[in-house]
Chains A and B, each alone.
Chain A
């Protein structure tokens, strides 16, 4: 099979096709369980940090609020401005959604386990280029915002889209360079390999600078406050999603939270040891996915925490931070790491 189609990258371990399909469905379901959870966590935790309750009317402790929100949005009438470009306008949120969901496939939730006699990896796919897949999809997700903003045929949407594109491209550099230190230390691009390389020590300790840069860049990359310049309500009405409503807006909204979950999951995989636990605790393999999910949720909590704390910087300050501080710092980090790796080996 591999002989027929030249693969883009080597795959660490591949299962039978029906397991692949099953895994794809399960990972998709896990992803779309985490998104409402992140949404809920965002609103509840932010509420508590602002000394209020947050939503608490729908369901027990307001737990069904995301469902109610999504239900409401999906049943709204679809409308679009007369100046919009129909096909692209309808398709742009789909691009955002697909890019967000696809990047989730490379997150490893555990090593290969035996399920009913078959060896199954607890990840969508373990490709040798690993993290590059995540970058590719986060790069493609710019198209979702750009096309959506442009096809809306509205000045606010277009301005917001240009802003988000510039912001995403600038911070992609710092983000990539911050992860390069980890890749150099681990000596592999495969995310499973990187997690296994952290069995002795999590990379957050030797790569603390890279971790901090990654977290800051991830805020900007996911368009979360304090770097939500793309939808800065006060200046841009709503950014690229100004003209969107109903299900299409829900897609953008869910994609934003999905991005946040993925950025957290990548932080967990690259820096926080994936399914590994510290102090030599080695639980059975079925605990691994739970460990990864709990760590991811904790990083999402940090996203919410920072969102509540910091005000939004000006646009030029955002760009200055990205280009003048994070990028040189990440470069120095990579060079120092590379020298240390060469010297110690």
Chain B
């Protein structure tokens, strides 16, 4: 019984059978077919994204630069300074120093808050374990991937930078894309 490939199977195209005048004819035909292929590509639109002007939209799951979150109603920080993210981090790039909330100065919803929260983005591997480890969804991965800078110290993001409403410079893919 002959095997008939389905539509999902790509038929491999082999080189023409060599030998004899027929081989010469077939090789010549294949040469012309090659020329036709490249010429047809010239008539199509280039597949290039001209990057700085035109950005490729990212998927919602894309793991870009981190964000820290506040409660939208009270404006208090979600982070309670538990350091679980720092413990989960395989690249050891998160530094958390916790401090107690006082009645005069409430920063977070919990008992303590993060006095220092730094992520060294030059070490971060964007694995997203911090996001998984966080019990309060205080840290999530954003969509921003344009983080290059001129010095290493500028890549250490402080709490204020992570809390600040991030400048979304990256288009998000819509459902139908």
Contacts and interface: CB of A to CB of B under 8 A. Distances in A.
A305 interface: yes
B48 A309 contact: no
A53 B50 contact: yes
B19 interface: no
A306 B41 CA distance: 13
Contact of B46 (A51, A305, A306, A308): A51
A47 interface: yes
B-side interface mostly: helix
Interface in A302-345: 305-306, 308-310
A285 interface: no
A51 B39 contact: no
A305 B39 contact: yes
A208 interface: no
Interface in B12-71: 31, 34-35, 37-39, 41-42, 44-48, 50
Nearest to B24: A325
B47 A308 contact: no
Interface residues of A, number: 13
A305 B35 contact: yes
A310 B44 CA distance: 20
A310 B34 contact: yes
A45 interface: yes
Interface string A36-53: 000000000101111111
A-side interface mostly: helix
A218 B162 CA distance: 62
B46 A52 contact: yes
Contacts of B45: 51
Contact of A308 (B31, B38, B44): B38
A310 B38 CA distance: 10
Contacts of A308: 38
A51 B35 contact: no
Contacts of A49: 38-39, 41-42
A53 B48 contact: yes
Contact of A52 (B34, B38, B47): B47
A51 B44 contact: yes
Task: Give the 5 A-B CB pairs with smallest separation, nearest first.
Answer: A309-B34, A49-B38, A309-B38, A48-B42, A51-B47
Given A48-B42, A306-B35, 4 more contacts: A49-B38, A49-B41, A51-B41, A51-B44
Interface of A: 45, 47-53, 305-306, 308-310
29 contacts: A45-B42, A47-B46, A48-B41, A48-B42, A48-B46, A49-B38, A49-B41, A49-B42, A50-B41, A51-B41, A51-B44, A51-B45, A51-B46, A51-B47, A51-B48, A52-B47, A53-B46, A53-B48, A53-B50, A305-B35, A305-B38, A305-B39, A306-B35, A308-B38, A309-B34, A309-B35, A309-B38, A310-B31, A310-B34
